Each structure stands twice: as structure tokens, then as C-alpha cells.
Amino acid sequence: MAESIRFDLPTSKAPTSWLNINPDLPGPMLPPLHPGTQEPVTPEFMSVLSPMALLGQDMSMDEQIEIPDPVREIYKLWRPTPLLRATRLEKELGTPAHIYYKYEGVSPVGSHKANTAVAQAFYAKEEGVRAFTTETGAGQWGSALSMACAMFDIACEVYMVRVSYDQKPFRRYVMESYGASVYASPSPHTDAGRGVLAENPDHPGSLGIAISEGINAAVASNGAKKYSLGSFLPHVCLHQTVIGQEAMAQMEMAGEYPDIVIGCAGGGSNFAGVAFPFVREKLRAGKNTRIVAVEPAACPTLTKGEYTWDAADGVGMAPIVMMYTLGHTFVPAGIHAGGLRYHGMSPQVSGLVKHGVVEAQAYDQVDTFEAGVQFGRCEGILPAPESNHAVKAAIVEAQKCKESGEAKVILFNLSGHGNFDMMAYSQYLNGELPRYEYPDAAIAEAMTHVPDVEFGA
């Protein structure tokens, strides 16, 4: 009989709680600091921005946090997501390795981001929040939050980086179809946006400015609106752990346990989602798993950044946290994996890399698209440009197995499909996609602007 290639977990076996990695983290948990005073942020400061339940999750030391029933009901629309074995890719590579991937592209918006969007909208609704404000680059996060807000009947205000708003309108139409208000950022709707426009009416925008506008709009609303972030924060990583918990049960159905677990990392949330359950096994059960975060050579936060205190946003309105960073004044190149273009990294993921529990790799975008196209021709799915980084790393590990003759078990997270990213695929196919490695001198320059923090020194 042919081997199984698809492992579906029945709804009755879906996770009932999220896995909280806080109690497992090596080293002390350092608090976020106020950008002005550089003292630990107060609950009053944070509660202007975020629903209280989410702030509680950020600090929680509980091992598991129960998933509320209404959230589990909505997860059923696309979860549990499938685990697949890429046997056709294995054959193409001629590798003895077993390659498995968890496919998050089956969510209605095509990526893992819906997992936290639904949870955040649920808690916001419970606390009487009338609207969420947020930022989006290419629109993946904005689409997910717009859908979740529609489901819980709260308003959604999205500040979308102007170049994307003009050049990549399809995800904007997705957001508007869900009922969101989408503004090109910098916009005339916030003080932050008006300030930028006064200096340059044709400003193309940046994620940093869009974040500032989202925060600004929430702060100015007297509590009616809260600000939502789609990656980076502990509660976002927490909500994504349904991915890894399901994958662990599905690997058991396949009769295997991964030797290598791989995820791409922008702010760190889909990586955290697939990895944290395996991190816990590694730390508690002594499992010898290699756990790999993959980033673009154009934004090498973990592989070339520094582990230090830095601002979480581009302009210094958000808290200062201990993390790997390229410096908050980092200006990203226009590579296609928009979701990976962020100067910092989840403090939890950063700590795990710092302590050697997790390793990091970086690849050039051209090599990741080559991997994505090879994957698509074997397995059918054309991955999101971000996910292509995980595909590339999985292929490299499988090729190493071919050389060594080892039949290692590789699991990677396919965080989303690339169906809205065909301009990028077209550029790759026409040989127009540039190679780009972020220059060391630019990192050194940006690192001169990180705040000089006394806390804990």
C-alpha cells in the first residue's frame, strides 16, 4: 500500500488550550519599558492600547491558557489544518529525508494570522471595545483582523503603507469587503500622519509610520478604540501555538517525531506557533530537536542583529523591549516578503535564540523563490514569499541528508499561500528579482540609535 501523505486531525481532537511558553523561557523575563521614563510600563499605560485579557496573557506564567468556546467555534471553519508529507518533493530531491509541512494557507484569508485575529477580536468584544486600529504592510494582517472584526461586529481601522495601498490593491479590497476602513499611511486622520504629510505630501509611507498612526488613533479615542498588533507580542505567539500542538498530534498519527522543526520569522509568530510545543518537549523531555527560524538576508535580525534593548516601533512611541534588533531606524529594502521586513523580533523567540535553544538562518529572496517554485511544481501550492524562506531551509536540510544518507524527519510550517503575490513570482520568473543582502555598515549605523537603557544594568 502506498504511504499516507495527508494527516487530518478530527475536530474532536483539536487543542482546547494555547501553550504558554513563558514558564519555560531560559533567563529572567524582562518587562517592557516605557519609551519616555525607561521604567517598566504600567498597566494604565498599556491598557490604553490593548484589551486587559491580552495584557494578562503577555505576563501569564500558566502552562496552558484555555481557548474560549466562541474562538474554538470559529477555528472550526478551517482548523485543524492539514499536515502533509511532501513525498513528490522528496523524490525530486532524491533525499532519504521525510519532509512534512503544516499548511496554514487554508484559513479564509490564506495565512496563519487569522489564528490570533479571531482571539484578539473576541477579547476586545468582551471588554466593550468598539473598534480596533492597526497597521498593515502588504495587507495580510489587515485582512485577517478585518475578517475577525466582521465576525465579532466591531469596527476595524487599518493604516496601510501608501506604496502597498497604491500598488497592491487586492488585499485592500479584501479588507474593504469585510467592512474595514483602510487609509493610505501617512494619512490626514492622525496627528502622526498629518505631521509626516506636512513635511512631505508625497511620502510613500513605512510600517513604522503606519504603526504610529494605529497607536495614535487608539490613544486619541478615549478608550473607544484599541490598537491591535499581528505579530511579535507574547499573546500573539501564544494564540499561534494551535499550529504546533496540532502538528505534534499529526506527526504522531504519521508515526514520526521531527528531528528538525522550521518556520520563517518576521515578528516571530508563525515560527513560535509551530515551534513552541517542540521547544517545551526539547527543554522538559530532553528531546534533541533542532529548531530553526529562517529570515531574509535583506532583514537579518537574528543572524546579524544585536540582543539589546530597543524600541518596538519605528518612531519610539511603543515600549522598549529586550530583543534581537537591527535598530529601530532600520530602513528595509523593498523585498517581496513584506511580512518579514521588521527591525525587531519577538522577545520570547529572541531569548530562545540567545540561549541556544533555537538556531537562526538567513537566505536571499532569489533563492527562496527558487525553492518556492520547485515546491509548487511538486506539491501544487505556491507559497507566500514569507513561507518560501521556510521551504528553502527545509530543502537545504533535505539535500544535506542526501549527502549524508540520513533519513531525518523535517517539519516546516507553510504559513500561507502566495495567490495574492503573483507580481513577485512574475518578477522571479522574468529574472527581475534582485539579490539583496543588508549591508553590515547600515546595521552598524542603525545600532548607534538604539536607546541607552540603564534598567537592570
We find the least distance from the C-beta atom of residue 134 to ligand PLP, in angstroms, to be: 13
User: Is residue 239 close enough to count as binding ligand PLP by CB under 6 A?
Assistant: no
**What are the cell numbers at 90?**
522528496
**Does residue 154 contact residue 131 with C-beta atoms inside 8 Å?**
yes
Q: DSSP letter at 42?
A: P
**Does residue 312 contact residue 344 with C-beta atoms inside 8 Å?**
yes
d(CA 113, CA 131): 19
User: CA dihedral defined by 63, 68, 74, 75, rounded to 10 degrees?
Assistant: 10
User: Is residue 361 close enough to count as binding ligand PLP by CB under 6 A?
Assistant: no
Give the residue, chosen from 115, 361, 387, 388, that forms a contact with ligand PLP under the rule CB under 6 A. 387
For cell 538556531, the residue is: 359
C-beta closer to ligand PLP: residue 271 or 438: 271
d(CA 210, CA 193): 8
d(CA 274, CA 8): 16
User: Is residue 174 close enough to count as binding ligand PLP by CB under 6 A?
Assistant: no
C-beta closer to ligand PLP: residue 110 or 316: 110
Give the residue, chosen from 15, 339, 344, 376, that forms a contact with ligand PLP under the rule CB under 6 A. 339
User: Is residue 164 close enough to count as binding ligand PLP by CB under 6 A?
Assistant: no
Q: Binding segment for ligand PLP among 318-326, 367-375, 383-391, 400-408 (CB under 6 A)?
A: 383-391
Give the residue, chosen from 51, 186, 267, 327, that forms a contact with ligand PLP under the rule CB under 6 A. 267
d(CA 296, CA 342): 10
* Chain centroid, CA 131 distance in Å: 22
Q: Binding segment for ligand PLP among 88-96, 250-258, 351-359, 382-390 (CB under 6 A)?
A: 382-390
C-beta closer to ligand PLP: residue 289 or 387: 387
We find the least distance from the C-beta atom of residue 358 to ligand PLP, in angstroms, to be: 13
**What are the cell numbers at 43?**
498597566
Give the residue, chosen from 265, 352, 398, 409, that forms a contact with ligand PLP under the rule CB under 6 A. 265
Q: Where in 207-236 is the site for ligand PLP (CB under 6 A)? A: 231
User: Is residue 386 close enough to count as binding ligand PLP by CB under 6 A?
Assistant: yes
**Does residue 303 contact residue 196 with C-beta atoms inside 8 Å?**
no
We find the least distance from the C-beta atom of residue 314 to ligand PLP, in angstroms, to be: 17
**What are the cell numbers at 420?**
495574492
Draw the binding track, 393-412, toward ligand PLP (x: CB under 6 A; -: no contact). Answer: --------------------
d(CA 293, CA 82): 21
We find the least distance from the C-beta atom of residue 363 to ligand PLP, in angstroms, to be: 14
**What are the cell numbers at 172?**
485592500
Give the residue, chosen from 208, 234, 266, 319, that forms a contact with ligand PLP under the rule CB under 6 A. 266
Q: Binding segment for ligand PLP among 15-23, 83-91, 261-269, 446-454 (CB under 6 A)?
A: 261-269
Report the alpha-carbon angle 295-298-302, nearest 5.
40
User: CA dihedral defined by 370, 372, 375, 380, rounded to 10 degrees?
Assistant: -130
User: Is residue 415 close enough to count as binding ligand PLP by CB under 6 A?
Assistant: yes
| Total length of the chain | 457
Give the residue, chosen from 93, 384, 401, 424, that forms a contact with ligand PLP under the rule CB under 6 A. 384
For cell 477555528, the residue is: 75
**What are the cell numbers at 236?**
500573539
Q: Where in 82-121 is the site for ligand PLP (CB under 6 A)? A: 111, 113
Give the residue, chosen from 80, 277, 305, 416, that forms a contact with ligand PLP under the rule CB under 6 A. 416
**Does residue 136 contact residue 160 with C-beta atoms inside 8 Å?**
yes
Binding residues for ligand PLP, per CB under 6 A?
111, 113, 140-141, 231, 264-271, 339-340, 384, 386-387, 415-416
